[in-house]
Amino acid sequence: MAVFHLRQVYKVAMGPVPRYCRQAAYDLFVQELATLEETNSLVRAVVAVSMHELDDIDPADVEKTLGEMAHEINSRTPSGNPHAMVAQLHELLFEEWGFTGNTDDYNAPDNSYLPRVLQTRRGIPVTLTLIYKAVAQQIGLIVRGINAPVHFLAAVEVDHSWMIIDPFDCGRVLTRDEVFDRLDQLAGEPVQRSDALLATASHPQWLGRIIRNLEHIFDRAGRQSDVLAMRELLALVKDAE
């Protein structure tokens, strides 16, 4: 009875007690949903997902790393010219830091954990694009995620036009036709040449895509308690949409 009473007090003070997700991860996740339209909140919510499995994760460390990268780019582009900023963004992320897709172990959970991607500089399209967006927006660029099937991409605005970027492929700039050729290759069959497949990802969609990826990985590995933890988080995302 005493244990039950303490859990009820905790639930009132801190919010719902999850059945499967780690409490600290769940609490941070819930906290960031209220302002999920902000990029910083999306970053922290994605970090919260990683906290379900990873120990000793401090969201402030992630924000510090992203901020340091943005500060370095700003120091190299005093003119504020957007073309120069994109060039320096790509130089720093893909040439100097070496961010790229993890083609050797694509389905490893670490590829979906933002703190690990920052450490290893290997990830999947959706997490690498988030790093691209988080750094780019701190230097004044406008970036959106492209919620394409089988492959997540970035679009950056320069001089009132959009450049499509593939952070998984070392920041390669793609034409519309090249995007669809890439989707054909990954899908193993032709996909419809429709702009609807290149729609902007809302932040809930972005977050949900990361969580669903982990849900599928855990399911294939027979990690059912982790599958259920991801479903707890997904239910919250659906409520926030």
Query: What pLDDT does 90 receive?
Result: 98
Cross-strand pairs, 164: 155, 174
Query: What pLDDT does 239 receive?
Result: 72
Q: Is 230 within 8 Å of 29 (Cβ atoms)? A: no
Q: Burial, 8: exposed, middle or buried (Cβ in 10 Å; 0-12, 13-18, 19+)?
A: exposed
Six token digits for residue 135: 């750094």
Domain that holds residue 27: 2-240
Nearest Cα residue to 169 out of 159, 177, 161, 179: 179
Query: What pLDDT does 16 receive?
Result: 77
Distance, C-alpha 200 to centroid of its chain: 14
Exposure on the CB side of residue 77, measured as CA atoms within 13 A = 23
Other C-beta atoms within 10 Å of 219: how many?
A: 13
Query: What pLDDT does 65 receive?
Result: 98
Query: What pLDDT does 10 receive?
Result: 35
Q: What is the tally of structural domains in the chain?
A: 1
Instruction: Name residues of the chain where pLDDT drops below 50.
Output: 1-14
